[in-house]
Amino acid sequence: MKISHVPCLEDNYSYLIIDESTGDAAVVDPVDPEKVIQSAEQHSANIKFVLTTHHHWDHAGGNEKMKQLVPGIKVYGGSLDKVKGCTDAVDNGDTLSLGHDVNILALHTPCHTKGHISYYVTGKDGETPAVFTGDTLFVAGCGKFFEGTAEQMHQSLCVTLASLPKPTQVYCGHEYTVKNLEFALTVEPNNEKIQQKLSWARQQRQANLPTIPSTLEEELETNPFMRVTNPEIQEKLGCKSPIDTLREIRNKKDQWRG
């Protein structure tokens, strides 16, 4: 399978997932439909359906236009989210197939929105899997708790997503990586993996290149929101449990003006 970034708006990413044996494609969060369709044409791909991570306009706002531009297209979205233009609701554990070799598993990852879905995508044997995490998991960060609780974000990040294979490539909804890593250093100033990744991310952005994908393994090493079982982090923040630690890191991030 092939995955292609489609930068949209100021800092959003849509993604094309292409089954190479058939040219069939799915598109994740096509907020700028013309741009996404143009990208599909460049890859000689045929868009078969839309995967919406959540209902916010900068992710779902292109769905109606996609339906006009690609008649008969299916639009998938979480059953608990009011996703604009949704034709087919998905729940945790639902599966879809794309073309010959690509399989997609819907994972309910609530908190940022209550029906947020992440999509875990596998290709042929030996191909690295990918997960499209919308605004639940960012590189070195997580989404604001608009419609949920620290308990839910802990379940979404540290149970649901953390249980995927470590090499899984993480494709998120926004280019927030540099700021997220700068904040992560305030939580763990001596974490060398964070220092190294920040320096790499700054170089990528200076060259106008994406910092995405990350991998699940990298997130477990550098993302403070996925490191809340670490006793040093708990102690530093004066917290007794992973969930309290996650809540406290989110509060600090919300107030941080780095």
* 156-209 confidence digits (pLDDT tens): 999 999 999 999 999 999 999 999 999 999 999 999 999 999 999 999 999 999
Distance in angstroms (rounded) separating the CA atoms of residues 85 and 67: 8
Nearest CA-CA partner of 29 in 72, 76, 71, 69: 76
Whole-number pLDDT of residue 78: 98
Radius of gyration of the chain (CA): 18
Whole-number pLDDT of residue 16: 98
CA dihedral 201, 205, 210, 213 (to 10 degrees): 10
The tokens describing 17, both together, are: 């997932």
The total number of residues written for the chain in this structure = 258
Of the chain, the percentage scoring pLDDT greater than 70 comes to 100
Whole-number pLDDT of residue 75: 98
Q: What single DSSP character describes residue 225?
A: G
Angle at 116 between CA 215 and CA 72, to 5 degrees: 100
Please list the residue range(s) of the chain that carry CATH number 3.60.15.10. 2-171
* 48-90 confidence digits (pLDDT tens): 999 999 999 999 999 999 999 999 999 999 999 999 999 999 9
Of the chain, the percentage scoring pLDDT greater than 90 comes to 99
Whole-number pLDDT of residue 258: 84
pLDDT category at 149 given cuts 50, 70, 90 is very high
DSSP H or E stretch at residue 76 = strand 74-78
Residues designated as active site: 54, 56, 58-59, 112, 135, 174
pTM: 0.98
Average pLDDT, the chain: 98
For 2-171, which CATH superfamily applies? Ribonuclease Z/Hydroxyacylglutathione hydrolase-like (3.60.15.10)
* 104-125 confidence digits (pLDDT tens): 999 999 999 999 999 999 999 9
